[in-house]
Amino acid sequence: MKKLASVIIAMVILVSCFTLSACENKYVSHYSAMLMVRENTSNKASVSFDSFSGTLVMHLKNNSSDEVFITYEAKLGEGNIKVYYDFNDEKLNLCEIETNGSVDGKTETFTGNKTIYIIIESDGKCSDGSFSFVLGKK
């Protein structure tokens, strides 16, 4: 009986840990990928992959009250991917890229000491992609 109680308590603790840790992030990554290289610092995020399917979330952080913007570049060999960003609790479309496509640009200006979320969502399996996001000060 003690062994069963110990197992149940251990399971409850594990489930609680996973549940509580998932609440810290506004968006959650869930994907499968092959040959993925990912970099994410406070002012730069990039990812390249051979194949990718799912959702990848990266964070950029404006550590001051200065005005900032994001410059981005993306290319994709095959598939469809939509990229969103969230700065003030609103998920907005940044760009969409399709087979053999490439895109680059710059976002609007942001003000405030906040986290900026970059959300990459694939529409099925994609291949040969690279994405880069850099936080710049105005």
* Mode of pairing for the β-strands spanning 110-111 and 37-40: unpaired
Q: Which helix (H) or strand (E) holds 120?
A: strand 115-122
Please state the pTM of the whole predicted model: 0.78
Average pLDDT, the chain: 86
In a domain, 22, yes or no: no
Residue-wise pLDDT for 90-134, tens only, equals: 899 999 999 999 999 998 887 777 889 999 999 999 999 999 999
Q: Token digits for 102?
A: 């490439």
Query: Is the pLDDT reported for residue 14 higher than 50?
Result: yes
Note down the domain range covering 63. Answer: 28-137
In a domain, 18, yes or no: no
In a domain, 45, yes or no: yes
In a domain, 16, yes or no: no
In a domain, 4, yes or no: no
The backbone region for 100, taken as left when phi is positive above 0, alpha when psi lies in -120 to 50, beta otherwise, is left
Q: How many Cβ atoms from other residues are within 10 Å of residue 68's Cβ?
A: 23
> Residue 59: which CATH number?
2.60.120.260
Average the pLDDT over 58-83 and give the result: 92
In a domain, 10, yes or no: no
The domain tally of the chain equals 1
pLDDT score of 8: 65
